[in-house]
């Protein structure tokens, strides 16, 4: 079961990412536990597999509009699909990498897998109830989903 301290680590990693990369803070909604089915995903999802002392996955999912504005805040003019996919993978990787610092060397993270335009390809483990952390930035909403055994 995921603890409040673990959730806080992922929340802080997400808010730090927006403060540093976008130079604008993101607000975080109340995390909630999904009790039935899988959490929905947006157009773009960056997935990090977790192994070692904990197993599961963490993913960041966001709509194209949010990621496009984020790229522009980073002074990037290329808002192509490939660049959007790179960005969502980078967000997921940065958040998980920061969590690894808190959890230690036994928290092993994979390279990001990016899913675009096909939500059926995002498959959280069915035996673990995922925590969803709503992320609000400017007028956009995204989700950070934590599924750890």
**Residue for token pair 């899988």:** 38
Tell me the pLDDT tens digit for each residue of 73-117.
999 999 999 999 999 999 988 887 777 777 777 778 888 899 999
- Domain CATH for 82: 3.40.1550.10
The C-alpha atoms of residue 99 and residue 27 are separated, in whole angstroms, by 19
Number of folded domains that form the chain = 1
Per-residue pLDDT tens over the stretch 35-77: 888 898 999 999 988 888 788 888 999 999 999 999 999 999 9
pTM here? 0.91
Domain that holds residue 34: 4-148
CA distance 131 to 57: 11
């Amino acid at each position: 079961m995921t603890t409040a301290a673990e959730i806080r680590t992922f929340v802080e990693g997400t808010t730090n990412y927006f403060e540093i990369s976008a130079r604008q803070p993101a607000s975080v909604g109340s995390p909630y536990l999904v009790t039935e089915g899988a959490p929905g995903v947006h157009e773009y999802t960056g997935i990090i597999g977790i192994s070692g002392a904990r197993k599961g996955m963490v993913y960041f999912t966001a709509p194209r509009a949010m990621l496009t504005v984020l790229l522009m805040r980073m002074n990037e003019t290329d808002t192509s699909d490939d660049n959007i996919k790179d960005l969502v993978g980078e967000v997921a990787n940065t958040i998980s990498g920061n969590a690894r610092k808190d959890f230690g060397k036994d928290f092993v993270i994979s390279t990001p897998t990016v899913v675009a335009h096909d939500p059926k390809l995002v498959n959280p483990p069915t035996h673990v109830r995922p925590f969803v952390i709503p992320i609000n930035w400017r007028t956009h909403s995204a989700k950070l989903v934590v599924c750890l055994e």
